[in-house]
A and B are shown apart, each in its own frame.
Chain A
Amino acid sequence: MIEELLSKRLVFVAGKGGVGKSTIAAALASVGAQRGLKVLVVEVDGKGDVASMLGLARTSFVPQLACPNLWVMEMDTEAALAEYLRIYVKVPFISKLPGLGRIFDFVSTAAPGVREILVVGKLCYEVRQNTYDLIVVDPPASGHVISQLGVAGDVGQLIQLGLVKNQTQWMLGILADPRQSVALLVATPEETPIEEALDLASRIRTETPVHLEGVVVNRRFVSSFTGVETEVVDEIRQFGDSIIGLNEVLGASDLFARICRRHERNLMFLREQLGDSLRIATVGEYFGTMEPKDLVEEVAEVLEVELW
């Protein structure tokens, strides 16, 4: 049931680039918002895709209201660091020190996990603050999401003392609790994306503390003709030579059917490989013919039905 998913506090929408991750994240967030939850979407890679889909001209580290109950913010590690220092180190002026940004840039490049822990720390902080009922995260493309989801554990092992050490504990408490945090994987039903999704699924399960809740297979072609309908199509085929242009129309339909069958095979393969414990929802292909805002609404309606 979608209610179950919406009862979580933190949902990571993971997946390779180009599979429609941002669309799914925006749609899921608007389902939540329409049902009266206060929802925050966090864009981690700073592309602003979710914001523009929801009709916002720009995003910032400070959440912007996109529509009733729905806020969008853009992750900015430097702003997150300043906020962190203000809250935890309680030295307000420190964040205004000249050159802090450069030093931070350097340390976060050199010291493994500093950037990631700030991102995940900010997310967990928002969960703890209780300002929002649901936080939907649109993370950067796949490989990087593993670093982020796994960072609390990794850094916990590296750093034995200091503030960060203490904080990895409560962060892990939120991330590793499947009632609070889950990952939702997005893929398309093409061969390579399915392989990549399987790879990512196994990495989320083995390398991160976050529970993998299910997979959304996006841009699926759904077959239309069955039984007597295929007989009708064959009858129509008889007119192929007499009606000019009919073979083109039938050709489009045949192409569509072949792609449907391929998608069906790939979906079956995905189900087999993932096992029964994981749920799979599918969303159809819209051929780029809808405006982003309408597409989000449409997909939101589909998700209401499709998401377990």
Chain B
Amino acid sequence: MKSLLESLLARERVFVVGSGGVGKTTVSAALAIKAAIERPLSVLVVTVDPAKRLASTLGVRALANAPRRVELDGLGAKGQLWAASVDMKSAWDDLVLQFSPDEDTAKRILSSPIYHNLSAKFIGSYDYAAVQVLAALTADDRYDLVVVDTPPSRNALDFLDAPARLREFFSSPLLAFLTLPRRTRFFSAATRPFYLVADMVLGSAFLEDLTDFFSDFARLAPGLVEQSRSFSELLTVPATGFIAIAAPYGPSVDEAHRLLQALKTRDLNAVAFIVNRSLPGWLFTSQAQGARVWLETEAPSALAERFARDSKANAAVLRVVSELVFTHEQFGRARDRELVDALRDVGIDLFEIPIAESELDTPRTLAALIASATRTQR
């Protein structure tokens, strides 16, 4: 039966998808570390917007668009690990420089205040930048395996759609309209009402700036569109896989199922479903029920002689006993809920990674996390 690592190794690039807060970044890094330790491969992990602690866990001060080598000292690593992240601002600057037809166009775009806001702050532009960085990295044959930590799932789909949206954007008749000379636009009967309103609301100076900017920006189209097209194609090849990850119960599980469904409709290959931070199954045996009864009925008297005549300690015994029972009950109920949620048929291999009891702050502890993953039987 295939282990989690083997599922991963069957692909050349794997996208890890799921809601925010389920541990996607941590698991992505852990998967890459484990692969680089166990196999003589060049492994690259690309994280999006990583927390600073992850960079320090990997032993690098900062992550950048250009991959950096991660040392795996003392772990007997057979392969090599590299790490990169998507820095949106510099990614966009690179794209402008790479795809501008001439230096003047690049300069005008880079100095436009609209470009500054578009590239640094606003929604959606991150996806484009990430796609372009990933297109370059996932096609790089220096790496045998690339693990990609994607943005949270509500955006993950946006993110997969970014190449198509970019193509649509550049082929839109509306872009053509916006970049028309002002006179032509103003007197066109179809667009006049809109233009009047837009002028009043946004101010004509802003509209002019916008027009100028998009006239330049449209010239990046051929290069950007070509690169995003090849990225779209890369997503559906058999060597590309997707791993969905969810917290043990609750909305993130539903979200992961929705994602798997969406992957299916897009003909993308889902390779594994990971329930992260699950409760260890060995805690919930039928004998434990019996022990709970013993704790509540017999333990107080069994302990009475040890704490003879100490009324304070006797009160403590009662508190401890009920607390132990309560904790186990709560965990038990959570575990039931977890299984009901997780065992819904997803049609792919299901793995559980038990909740970590120590801090996940070194490559060693992260590798151990993947080793602790178990395949769940349905």
Contacts and interface: CB of A to CB of B under 8 A. Distances in A.
Interface of A: 16-19, 45, 47, 49, 84-85, 88-89, 91, 94, 97, 99-100, 102-103, 106-107, 109-116, 140-144, 146-147, 150, 154, 157-165, 188, 190-193, 195-196, 199, 224-225, 228-229, 231-233, 235-236, 239, 243-246, 248-253, 255-256, 258-259, 262, 265, 287-289
B328 A97 contact: no
Contacts of B20: 16-19, 141-142
Interface stretch (B1-9, B47-55, B229-237): B47-55
Interface stretch (B74-82, B314-322, B368-376): B314-322
Nearest to B318: A232
Contacts of B306: 235
Contacts of B312: 228
27 contacts: A17-B20, A85-B197, A89-B201, A100-B194, A110-B214, A141-B20, A144-B123, A147-B123, A159-B202, A160-B205, A162-B205, A164-B201, A188-B21, A195-B54, A228-B313, A232-B303, A232-B313, A236-B324, A239-B299, A245-B288, A246-B291, A246-B295, A249-B325, A250-B324, A253-B324, A255-B283, A287-B337
B313 A18 contact: no
Interface string B276-317: 000110111111111110110001001100110000110011
A142 B123 CA distance: 11
B201 A195 contact: no
Given A141-B20, A192-B26, A195-B52, A229 B319 contact: yes
B360 A191 contact: yes
Given A244-B290, A288-B337, A233 B320 contact: yes
Given A141-B152, A162-B201, A251-B283, A287 B333 contact: yes
Contacts of A233: 320, 324
Given A192-B54, A224-B327, 5 more contacts: A19-B20, A103-B174, A191-B53, A192-B25, A195-B53
A192 B247 CA distance: 14
Contacts of B286: 245
B203 A160 contact: yes
B101 interface: no
A100 B321 CA distance: 67
Contacts, number: 245
Interface string B6-42: 0000000000000111110110000000000000000
The 6 nearest A-B residue pairs measured at CB: A18-B21, A162-B203, A17-B20, A245-B287, A161-B203, A195-B51
A158 B21 contact: no
Interface residues of B, number: 95
B181 interface: no
Contacts of A157: 113
A117 to B, nearest CB: 10
Contacts of A17: 19-21, 152-154
B154 A159 contact: no
Contacts of A158: 113-114, 117, 206, 209
Interface stretch (B91-99, B129-137, B248-256): B248-256
Nearest to A46: B154
A111 B51 contact: no
B23 to A, nearest CB: 7
B144 interface: no
Contacts of A164: 201-203
A228 B169 CA distance: 68
